Chain A
Amino acid sequence: MSAGAFCPICHHLLATSQWNLPDFTACPNCQAPTRTLVFPAIARATSSARPAQRNKTEAGCFFHEHSRAENVCASCGRFLCSLCTLAFGTQKLCPDCIYRKRRQASEPLFRDQTILFDNIALLLLVIPVLCLVYIYLGLIFSAFALAIVIIGWRRQRPLVPRSNYRFVLAAGLSLIEGLGWIALVWLIVWLIQSHPTDFGL
């Protein structure tokens, strides 16, 4: 629970006299010119009360039987005291539901990360070239990259708009790298067969 606004540079607690001023003021600790816009929510943060005890006639919290139920979980319908009620966006949920929804990562609202298959495919195509192992592993890496493009095209679910051009680029590059590897190996074999003495054979 925060107790005020902090300097962005040294994280020192700023005085309330420095809040919402039109000009920059020096941080008392690091002297950096700082400006802080404080919103009404900061007053709510310090006023969290303990959950009220319930009477025998009142419903109790699912997790704390001696606390009075004040909300209902929007997902599972459990009664919740003020301590167990977590406002997640516009919904009020219990900790169990938030944990479950985050693990399932089914709703966009509960996803906190996504795998970028297009970047993985591009990285797989760059690695053998940069590490100078293209001649040995070029075909394998390009095949993997193509597979990841095919798998990731449908499975990649970013929360924010993301273009598919990286997938197209990775697919094109993987084909070029794969075919290039085959051509290179064929050329080497042809050179060895046509001039075996040059290679000590």
Chain B
Amino acid sequence: MSDPAFSRGRGTETRQVPYRKIAATGWISRLLPGARSTIYLGEDHLLHAKQIMLFEKYRRFYFSDIEAISFSKSNRWIWFSVIWGFLLFCSLFWYLGHQTWCCIVGALFCLVFGGLLLSNLIAGRTYVVNIQTAAQIRRLRPVERENQLIKFQQTVVPIIMQAQQANPNEAPV
């Protein structure tokens, strides 16, 4: 039967929605349960996938429904720089030991914390980014770094404008 009134869900089970990843949280977030999230670009919506250990939760933001994207500058990147810098400084104390293994351990710690400090500085300043529809306001963690936010805006804003100019009278959800 082709009547939609008689069609049940099982028949459409195999249909897959194509998604393209446009932003994701950093690799450190893989170690923290609930901190890993990714944004995908769908045909007519953004998909925010948040992984909470054993589950992956999805939030959809239809381009025609997005009301606003707000972002505020935050000082998180400065605090992270201070923490990694302090730990890097502490790692230098290993070189006070005169044994070879002290130097090796010190070098390892310096490499780790120096790498973290460098990656934090390269990633740029941090923002708090919210996306808003009539029904929900969600924080978008994957685009909270400056470079990611700029790319996100360049990708998404024209699509949203196009979708909303195409259907100016469509009823909101």
Q: A residues touching B (Cβ–Cβ < 8 Å)?
A: 1-2, 5-9, 11, 14, 19, 24, 27, 32-42, 44-45, 48, 74-77, 82, 85-90, 100-101, 104, 106-109, 111-116, 119-120, 123, 158-161
Taken together as a complex, chains A and B put the C-alpha atoms of A159 and B43 apart, in Å, by 13
Residues of chain B within 8 A (CB-CB) of A85 are 171
Closest chain B CB from A163 CB (angstroms): 12
Taken together as a complex, chains A and B put the C-alpha atoms of A116 and B33 apart, in Å, by 13
State whether A74 touches B15 (Cβ < 8 A): no
Which single member of B10, B44, B54, B133 contacts A115 (CB below 8 Å)? Answer: B54
Given A48-B172, A108-B17, A39 contacting B4 (CB threshold 8 A): no
Given A41-B65, A116-B55, A120-B54, A7 contacting B70 (CB threshold 8 A): yes
Q: B residues touching A (Cβ–Cβ < 8 Å)?
A: 3-5, 7-10, 12-13, 15-17, 19, 21, 38, 40, 44-45, 47, 49, 51, 53-60, 62, 64-74, 127-130, 132-134, 137, 139, 153, 157, 160-161, 164-165, 168, 170-173
Given A39-B67, A120-B54, A9 contacting B44 (CB threshold 8 A): no
Given A86-B173, A90-B44, A107-B12, A42 contacting B68 (CB threshold 8 A): yes
Closest chain B CB from A86 CB (angstroms): 6
Closest chain B CB from A101 CB (angstroms): 6
The 8 closest A-B pairs by CB, nearest first: A106-B9, A42-B67, A8-B130, A104-B9, A5-B68, A8-B128, A77-B5, A32-B72
Closest chain A CB from B35 CB (angstroms): 14
State whether A8 touches B129 (Cβ < 8 A): yes
Which single member of B9, B57, B73, B134 contacts A24 (CB below 8 Å)? Answer: B73
State whether B68 touches A37 (Cβ < 8 A): yes
What are 8 A-B pairs at a CB distance below 8 A?
A8-B72, A38-B67, A38-B68, A39-B160, A41-B134, A45-B134, A123-B54, A160-B21
Residues of chain B within 8 A (CB-CB) of A107 are 9, 12-13, 15
State whether A34 touches B72 (Cβ < 8 A): yes
Taken together as a complex, chains A and B put the C-alpha atoms of A124 and B7 apart, in Å, by 39
State whether B58 touches A113 (Cβ < 8 A): yes
